[in-house]
C-alpha cells in the first residue's frame, strides 16, 4: 500500500492523518495537545514526528508528506513542494503568524532532515484567499506598503475551501454558481465571503490576529489602543505581540481559556461570560451583514469549525436577529483540512 502523511501543527496542538494514496481513506489519525514551551516543546515535537512517521510507514510505502502552513506571504499562493532552497523564503513569514508558522515549519524541517527522498507539500491557509479582488485586498495605508506585500491575506483558507466544495456538493450545485458566507468558528475564528465559488473577502486581514475576537487574540483593534498601551505600559514589540495574540480575546476579558467555558457561563447567566458570548457573536453578525450587502445575493450561510459545527446555541444566537435569515439556507459542515491537503498531495504525485 502507498500512503500519504499529513501534519497539521497548531499553536497548542498537533493533528495528523495517514491516508491510503489510492482511495484517500483514513488509515490512522490523532491529535495531541502541546503545552510545553521552548526547548522542551521542540524535543516533544521531534519525538511525536518520529512516532507518527513510523506509524505511517507501518501501513506501507510513504509517498509524500503534506503540511498545513498558515501564512504563505506574497511568495507562496498555491500548494508548493518545499525544499532546502525555498524554506528560507517560507521562514520570513513566521513573524506574520507567530503562533503557527514556526511549528508548521519545524515539521517540514524534520521531514527534510529525516526523509530526504520524500517530497514535502505545503498547502497554505492564505492560498484560497489569493483571489480576493484588489478593492478588498488593499489596506488604507501608503501604497508603497502594498508593493512590499502588506495587504489582506485571509486565513483558515484550507477549511473555507474544503467547506465551500462540500456545500456545493450538498446543495447539488456547481461551486462556480454559488455565493456563500462561511463562518469558521473555533479557538481561532473567521468569516469569508465567497462570490461565484471564489474567495471575495475574509474577516482575517494581514495577520491571524485580525477579524473576529477569538480565544486569546483581539480580532479587529483600533491601532490607537495598541499605541496607547505600548506607550503607557512601556511594552516592547515582542511583549505587545504576545499581549494581543496570547493574552487577549475572551481570555483577556474573562480569564477563561475556551469558548465552551464562556458558553457554560452564559447559560448560567454570569455577567462577564455573557458579555464575551455576545461580543463574539455580535462580531460574527456584523461580518455576515456586511458580506450579505457586498455579495447582494447569498445562497447559504455556512457554519464550521469546532464551535460553528458543534454549538447549536451559538448558531441560533448568531442567526436569530438577522432580518434576512428566512431567505437564506443555513448549512452545517464538518471541516476536514487534512483531507483537502491529502487530495492536493495525490494530484502532485500524478
Average pLDDT over residues 27-51: 90
Average pLDDT over residues 195-203: 98
**Catalytic option among 125, 201, 273, 299:** 125
Give the SS3 label for residue 234: coil
Q: What does the alpha-carbon distance between residue 133 and residue 179 come to, in Å, rounded to a whole number?
A: 15
Q: What does the alpha-carbon distance between residue 79 and residue 224 come to, in Å, rounded to a whole number?
A: 37
Which set of grid coordinates corresponds to residue 309? 459545527
Give yes or no: 125 in active site. Answer: yes
* Residue positions counted in the chain: 350
- Tens-digit pLDDT profile for residues 259-288: 899 999 999 999 999 999 999 999 999 999
Q: What does the alpha-carbon distance between residue 300 and residue 100 come to, in Å, rounded to a whole number?
A: 30
Which set of grid coordinates corresponds to residue 130? 489569493
Which of 318, 314, 298 has its CA nearest to residue 171? 298
**Residue 349 confidence (pLDDT):** 93
Which of 76, 16, 56, 2 has its CA nearest to residue 339? 16
Q: How many CB atoms lie within 10 A of CB 49?
A: 22
Q: What does the alpha-carbon distance between residue 3 and residue 18 come to, in Å, rounded to a whole number?
A: 7
**Residue 23 confidence (pLDDT):** 97
Average pLDDT over residues 100-105: 90
Q: How many CB atoms lie within 10 A of CB 145?
A: 13
Sign of CA dihedral 212, 217, 221, 223: negative
Which of 126, 96, 97 has its CA nearest to residue 199? 126
Q: What does the alpha-carbon distance between residue 43 and residue 49 come to, in Å, rounded to a whole number?
A: 10
Q: Which fold has domain 2-124?
A: Nucleotidyltransferase; domain 5 (3.30.420)
Q: What does the alpha-carbon distance between residue 11 and residue 106 come to, in Å, rounded to a whole number?
A: 12
Which set of grid coordinates corresponds to residue 35? 503545552
Predicted confidence band of residue 93 (pLDDT cuts 50, 70, 90): confident
**Backbone torsions φ then ψ of 130, nearest 5 degrees:** -70, -10
**Domains of the chain, residue spans:** 2-124, 174-332
Average pLDDT over residues 223-244: 96
Q: What does the alpha-carbon distance between residue 170 and residue 211 come to, in Å, rounded to a whole number?
A: 28
- Tens-digit pLDDT profile for residues 7-36: 998 877 899 999 999 999 999 999 998 877
Pairing of strands 198-202, 180-184: unpaired
- DSSP code, position 176: G
Domain 174-332 part of CATH 3.10.290.20: no
Query: What DSSP assignment string belongs to 61-97?
Result: EEEEEEEEES--TTT--S-EE--TTTHHHHHTTGGGS
Amino acid at each position: 500500500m502507498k500512503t500519504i502523511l499529513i501534519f497539521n501543527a497548531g499553536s497548542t496542538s498537533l493533528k495528523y492523518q495517514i491516508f491510503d494514496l489510492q482511495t484517500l481513506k483514513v488509515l490512522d489519525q490523532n491529535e495531541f495537545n502541546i503545552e510545553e514551551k521552548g526547548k522542551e516543546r521542540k524535543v516533544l515535537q521531534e519525538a511525536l514526528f518520529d512516532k507518527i512517521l513510523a506509524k505511517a510507514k507501518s501501513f506501507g510505502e510513504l509517498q509524500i508528506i503534506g503540511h498545513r502552513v498558515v501564512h504563505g506571504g506574497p511568495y507562496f499562493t498555491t500548494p508548493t513542494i518545499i525544499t532546502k532552497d525555498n524554506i528560507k523564503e517560507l521562514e520570513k513569514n513566521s513573524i506574520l503568524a507567530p503562533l503557527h508558522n514556526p511549528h508548521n515549519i519545524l515539521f517540514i524541517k524534520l521531514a527534510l532532515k529525516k526523509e530526504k527522498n520524500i517530497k514535502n507539500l505545503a498547502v497554505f491557509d492564505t492560498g484560497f484567499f489569493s483571489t480576493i479582488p484588489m478593492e478588498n485586498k488593499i489596506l488604507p495605508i501608503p501604497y508603497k506598503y502594498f508593493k512590499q506585500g502588506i495587504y489582506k491575506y485571509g486565513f483558515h483558507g484550507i477549511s473555507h475551501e474544503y467547506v465551500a466544495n462540500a456545500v456545493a456538493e450538498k446543495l447539488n450545485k456547481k461551486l462556480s454558481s454559488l455565493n456563500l458566507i462561511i463562518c469558521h468558528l473555533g479557538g481561532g475564528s473567521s468569516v469569508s465571503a465567497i462570490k461565484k465559488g471564489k474567495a471575495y473577502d475574509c474577516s482575517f486581514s494581514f495577520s491571524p490576529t485580525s477579524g473576529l475576537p477569538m480565544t486569546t487574540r483581539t480580532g479587529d483593534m483600533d491601532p490607537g489602543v495598541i499605541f496607547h498601551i505600548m506607550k503607557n505600559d512601556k511594552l516592547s514589540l515582542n511583549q505587545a505581540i504576545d499581549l494581543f495574540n496570547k493574552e487577549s480575546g475572551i481570555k483577556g476579558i474573562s480569564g477563561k481559556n475556551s469558548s465552551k467555558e464562556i458558553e457554560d457561563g452564559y447559560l448560567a447567566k454570569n455577567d462577564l461570560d455573557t458579555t464575551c458570548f455576545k461580543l463574539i457573536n455580535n462580531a460574527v453578525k456584523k461580518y455576515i451583514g456586511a458580506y450579505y450587502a457586498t455579495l447582494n445575493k447569498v445562497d447559504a450561510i455556512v457554519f464550521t469549525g469546532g464551535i460553528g459545527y458543534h454549538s447549536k446555541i451559538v448558531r441560533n444566537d448568531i442567526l436569530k436577529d438577522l432580518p434576512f435569515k428566512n431567505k437564506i439556507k443555513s448549512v452545517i459542515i464538518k471541516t476536514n483540512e487534512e483531507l483537502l491537503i491529502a487530495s492536493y498531495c495525490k494530484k502532485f504525485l500524478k
